[in-house]
Structure 1
Amino acid sequence: MPRQVDHDERRAVIAEAAWRLIAERGVDAVTLREIAATIGMANGALKHYFPDKSSIVRTAFTSVFESTNTRIRDRLGTATGLAGLRIFCLEVMPVSPVTRLEARVVLPFWQRALADPELAAAYVAAMAYWRAQIRGFLMAARVEGSVTSAVTDDVLTEQVLAMLNGVQALAMLDPAATTPESQRRMLDAFLDGLR
Structure 2
Amino acid sequence: MPKIIDHDKRKQQIAEATWKVIAEEGIEQATVRKIAKATGLSAGALRHYFSTQSELLLYSMNLVSERVKERTMSKTYQGDPFDLVKDALSELLPIDDERRLEMEVWLVFSVKTLVEEKLRALSEDVYVEMKEGISAIIQLLVNLGLLKEECNPDEEAVRLHVLVDGLAVHHLLHPVSFPQQKMMDALEYHLKSICTF
- What's the TM-score bracket when you normalise by the shorter of the two chains? 0.7 to 0.9
Higher relative contact order (CA 8 A, sep 6+): 1
| Cα deviation, residue 76, structure 1 | 4.1
Aligned residues between the structures: 195
| Cα deviation, residue 78, structure 1 | 4.1
Mark the runs of 5 or more structure 1 residues left unpaired by the alignment. Answer: none
| Cα deviation, residue 192, structure 1 | 0.5
Q: Percent identity at matched positions?
A: 25
Look up the SS of the partner of 2:130 in the other structure. helix
d(CA) in 2 for partners of 1:46 and 1:99? 26
Contact map agreement 1:82 1:141 (CA 8 A) in 2: no
d(CA) in 1 for partners of 2:114 and 2:5? 35
TM-score in terms of structure 2 length: 0.87
| Cα deviation, residue 70, structure 1 | 2.1
Q: For residues 72-129 of structure 1, what are the alpha-carbon distances to aligned partners after superposition, in whole Å with 9 as ceiling and x for unaligned?
A: 2333434696543311221211222222222210121111111222322111111211
Mark the runs of 5 or more structure 2 residues left unpaired by the alignment. Answer: none
Match of 1:10 in 2: 10
Look up the SS of the partner of 1:192 in the other structure. helix
Match of 1:178 in 2: 178
d(CA) in 2 for partners of 1:172 and 1:192? 24
Match of 1:128 in 2: 128
Match of 1:109 in 2: 109
How is 1:10-49 mapped onto 2 (pairs within 5 angstroms)? 10-49=10-49
TM-score in terms of structure 1 length: 0.87
d(CA) in 1 for partners of 2:132 and 2:84? 13
Match of 1:146 in 2: 146
Letter in 2 for 1:10: R
Q: For structure 1, which segment, 181-190 or 155-164, has the greater mean C-alpha deviation from structure 2 after superposition?
A: 155-164
Aligned residues: CA RMSD: 2.2
Structure 1 segments, 4+ long, off by >6 Å, are: none
Contact map agreement 1:32 1:43 (CA 8 A) in 2: yes
